[in-house]
């Protein structure tokens, strides 16, 4: 599965892609026909690559409803990832996350990735509401959500569990919501 945006190609993670991402960079590069920068993976993905691969391999996650690789078209290079915490629940709700590799931040790629995935979700007819969280002083991430019409809904119920290494002095974990219907 592929989503096209103006500058990017989003490729849905499969078990094969996720396993290569977790353990075999040259294989991942060959599979996605893309260069992989030395800065890959972004810090927010480094500790979950193995988990993503396991979930897809065991069938607990389905392609499209998990991770998507964001590949810049020119030059063809892996620059980030966007994804969901699985299929929507009975109320049509799912949670979104995104990350851009160091060296590619601040260029609008995260906003473009989120927009592409939102359009895909809306097209499935299965998603009514999307949650996302970010820290109250993570201004770049807040801007990505605002550009994609997410509204602030207060402090996340997951705030107390956020580690100081994740917070990086950026304050409380905030919940943002986008209604698709």
* All structural domains of the chain: 2-179 (3.40.630.30)
pTM value surpassing 0.85: yes
pLDDT at 174 over 90: no
Examine residue 75 and say whether the peptide bond preceding it is cis (omega within 30 degrees of 0).
yes
In degrees rounded to 5, what are phi and psi of residue 3? Answer: -115, 130
Q: Which of 139, 128, 34 is nearest to 81 (CA)?
A: 34
Model confidence at 167, in pLDDT bands (50, 70, 90)? low
Cα–Cα distance for residue pair 5/112, rounded to 1 Å:
7
99, 68 in Cβ contact below 8 A? no
Q: Say what the pLDDT of residue 4 is.
A: 95
Give the residue, 17 or 62, on which the prediction is more confident. Answer: 17
């Amino acid at each position: 599965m592929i989503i096209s945006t103006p500058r990017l190609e989003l490729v849905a993670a499969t078990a094969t892609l996720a396993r290569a991402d977790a353990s075999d960079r040259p294989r991942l590069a060959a599979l996605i026909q893309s260069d992989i920068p030395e800065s890959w993976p972004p810090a927010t993905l480094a500790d979950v690559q193995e988990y993503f691969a396991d979930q897809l391999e065991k069938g607990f996650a389905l392609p499209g409803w998990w991770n998507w690789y964001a590949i810049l078209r020119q030059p063809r290079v892996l620059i980030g990832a966007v994804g969901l915490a699985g299929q929507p629940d009975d109320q049509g709700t799912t949670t979104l996350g995104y990350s851009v590799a160091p060296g590619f931040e601040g260029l609008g790629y995260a906003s473009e990735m989120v927009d592409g995935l939102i359009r895909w979700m809306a097209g499935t007819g299965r998603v009514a509401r999307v949650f996302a969280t970010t820290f109250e002083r993570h201004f770049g991430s807040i801007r990505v959500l605002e550009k994609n019409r997410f509204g602030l809904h207060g402090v996340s119920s997951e705030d107390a569990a956020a580690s100081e290494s994740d917070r990086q002095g950026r304050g409380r974990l905030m919940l943002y919501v986008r209604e698709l219907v």
